[in-house]
Homo-oligomer: A and B are copies of this chain.
Amino acid sequence: MAKDGITTRAKDYSQWYLDIVDKAELSEWSPVRGCMVIKPHGYALWELIQQGLDQRIKDTGHQNAYFPLFIPQSFLLREAEHVEGFAPEVALVTHAGGELLAEPLVVRPTSETIIGVTFAKWVHSWRDLPLLINQWANVVRWELRPRPFLRSVEFLWQEGHTVHVDEADAERETLMILKDVYADFVEKVMALPVLRGRKTESEKFPGALRTYSIEAMMQDGKALQAGTSHNLGQNFARSFDIMYTAPDNQQVYGWTTSWGASTRLIGALIMAHSDDDGLVLPPLLAPIQVVVVPIYKTDSERADVLAAVERLTTGWKGRFRFKVDDRSNLTPGFRFSEWEVKGVPIRVEVGPKDVQKGTVAVARRDQPGKEGKRFIPQEGLNDHLEGLLLEIQQALYDRALRFRDEHTFTATTYDELKALVEQGFVRCYFAGGDEEEARIKEETKATVRVIPFDQPEAEGRCIVTGQSTTRQVVFAKSY
């Protein structure tokens, strides 16, 4: 047990995660099985994730809209693979307004079908394309083993849905979203390096032509899928009659895409950066970036310290997200600990001696204890803090990247794969299909996370079939 009732990672990584969620007050289970209450600190993280994604989604030409929560059950049946993928986990509304409904309504698990029906009405001519729409919404999937943020029955997400004139434009969109929206946000704002690549047939979205994904490594070496982007081909366009008149007056099916990122990102954030003392947040996503803790004993010290704090924080509004924690009924140590557990990147302590000396103590959350604490002149403090926030942001990214590098391996035999996949990501030549993937999953619990975009020039031997192939994949256990 580390401090404040948090299980250490070394002892039980799963329990550590649950303890962080609890002690940092991010979420708790509601009385409804598998449905979370997202608490204010957790929701503030989600708002910052939303802002960062929404900006990128709008900057790349998409508009937000809103589609119904309910989907007539028959819509789900129209795309064969889609219904097979989602039917087992839907929630059904059968009664409303005191009456039995003629047709049950599915609470949306994803919105391709209801949006498909709508897009069929919106798309007429090639001039209407591309149609670039995004929705922020709640969705419901009846998960059997829910985990906070990672796999909850209800979760929050954005889902993009677009229509294009041809396969090339749909493919360009699918990859652009993966790289310029998702990977860019997760790496730059969440400080989390990701692998980019394509999913195998057995791991793709039900109904998609091709699914792409970004995968991040957690501190136990497992992968977490942080965003997916699907080229749906003409599958949904055919099922929902999304047709347009081409310049040559032919009626043609459109090509659609969909892509989503969810509150699961909060799970990734926690598991990638946090430590045994609690949450660790990258400054760009921290709801509070700097907490100021005034320290004093006597009334006259109090007056001096608070006056200094007042002076120091003038001009911080709009520059830093900050909080002055002057709860005089709690000891400084208790307050330090609370903000540490909640992951505030910088703590500034101001005591009577600091007032005399014209200094403050500045402590970095990412370097706990004495190592990360310095006395800094009050003069020039703002610039120092601004620089330090950038430094911490980069340090978290660098640490995560170093960790991933240290836990990424190459395997040339199946035995090597089996051993190495216990420790992290394993890259290897692989020419197998659904059957081989299923067997490996059965035997190792690992799956192909992605077929990375960067592929070798040279051929190699498939670790399972022994066939010669140029295709490398990354295997890992995953959340």
Interface residues in chain A, defined as those with a beta carbon under 8 Å from any beta carbon in chain B: 28, 30-32, 35-40, 42-44, 46-47, 63-72, 75, 88-98, 104-105, 107, 114, 117-118, 121, 127, 133, 137-138, 140, 142, 144, 154, 156, 329
Specify which chain B residues have a CB less than 8 angstroms from the CB of A91 in the assembled complex.
70, 93, 95-97, 105
Chain B positions within 8 Å of A88 at CB level: 97-98
Bound complex: CA of A38 vs CA of B136, how far in Å? 12
Most chain B C-beta atoms within 10 Å of own C-beta, residue among A28, A93, A142, A156: A93
Task: Kindly name the residue among A63, A66, A156 whose own CB sees the greatest number of chain B CB atoms within 10 A.
Answer: A66
Cβ contact within 8 Å between A71 and B40: no
Q: Is the CB of B133 within 8 A of A40?
A: yes
Contact A30 B65 (CB under 8 A): no
- Give chain B residues whose Cβ lies under 8 Å from the Cβ of A138: 69, 137-138
In the complex, the answer to whether A47 meets B64 with C-beta atoms within 8 Å is: yes
Pair A144/B32 contact, Cβ less than 8 Å: no
- A67, B142: Cβ atoms closer than 8 Å: no
Rounded to whole Å, the gap between the CB of A127 and the closest CB of chain B is 8
B90 touches A66 (CB 8 A): no
Residues of chain B within 8 A (CB-CB) of A46 are 66
Contacts A35-B70, A40-B64, A44-B64: A93 and B92 contacting too (C-beta < 8 A)? yes
Whether B65 contacts A37 by the Cβ 8 Å rule is yes
Minimal Cβ-Cβ distance residue in B for A63: B40
**What residues on B are CB-neighbors of A96 within 8 Å?**
90-92, 142
A66 touching B38, Cβ below 8 Å: yes
Q: Are A72 and B31 in contact (CB under 8 A)?
A: yes
Query: Please, which residues of chain B bring their CB within 8 A of the CB of A35?
Result: 68-70
Q: Is the CB of B154 within 8 A of A70?
A: yes
9 A-B pairs besides A30-B114, A30-B117 with CB distance below 8 A are A30-B67, A30-B68, A32-B70, A32-B71, A37-B68, A70-B91, A89-B97, A92-B94, A138-B138
Decide: A43 and B30 in contact? CB cutoff 8 A.
no
The answer to whether A31 touches B66, judged by C-beta atoms less than 8 angstroms apart, is no
Q: How far is the CA of A154 from the CA of B121 in the complex (A)?
A: 21
Q: Contacting A97 at CB < 8 Å: which of B31, B67, B94, B142?
A: B142
Q: Given A90-B96, A95-B92, A107-B93, verify A37-B64 contact (CB < 8 Å).
A: no
Contacts of A71 in B (CB 8 A): 32
Verify B32–A72 contact, CB threshold 8 A: yes
Cα of A92 to Cα of B66 in the assembled complex, Å: 22
Distance A154 CA – B333 CA, assembled complex (angstroms)? 48
> In this complex, what residue of B is CB-closest to A127?
B329
Query: Which of these, B44, B117, B156, contacts A31 with CB under 8 Å?
Result: B117
16 chain-A/chain-B pairs, Cβ below 8 angstroms: A30-B68, A30-B117, A30-B118, A31-B117, A32-B114, A36-B66, A37-B65, A43-B64, A46-B66, A69-B69, A69-B138, A69-B140, A91-B95, A92-B95, A93-B107, A96-B142
Which residue of chain B has its CB nearest to the CB of A27? Answer: B66
User: CA of A89 to CA of B98 in the docked complex: distance in angstroms?
Assistant: 7
Residue of B nearest to A121 (CB): B28
Nearest opposing residue in chain B for A67, CB measure:
B37
- Name the residue on B nearest A263 (C-beta): B66
What chain B residues lie within 8 Å of A64 (beta carbons)?
40, 43-44, 47
| Distance of A142 from chain B, by nearest CB (Å) | 3
Whether A66 contacts B37 by the Cβ 8 Å rule is: yes
Are B65's CB and A32's CB within 8 A?
A: no
Q: How far is the CA of A117 from the CA of B28 in the complex (A)?
A: 13
Residues of B within 8 A of A69 (CB): 35, 69, 107, 138, 140, 154
Q: Is the CB of A114 within 8 A of B31?
A: yes
Q: How far is the CA of A388 from the CA of B94 in the complex (A)?
A: 53
The smallest beta-carbon distance between A21 and chain B, in angstroms, is 14
- Which chain B positions have C-beta within 8 A of A68? 30, 32, 35-37, 154
In whole angstroms, how far apart are the Cα atoms of A443 and B144 in the complex? 56
Top 5 nearest A-B pairs by Cβ distance? A97-B142, A35-B68, A40-B63, A38-B66, A91-B96
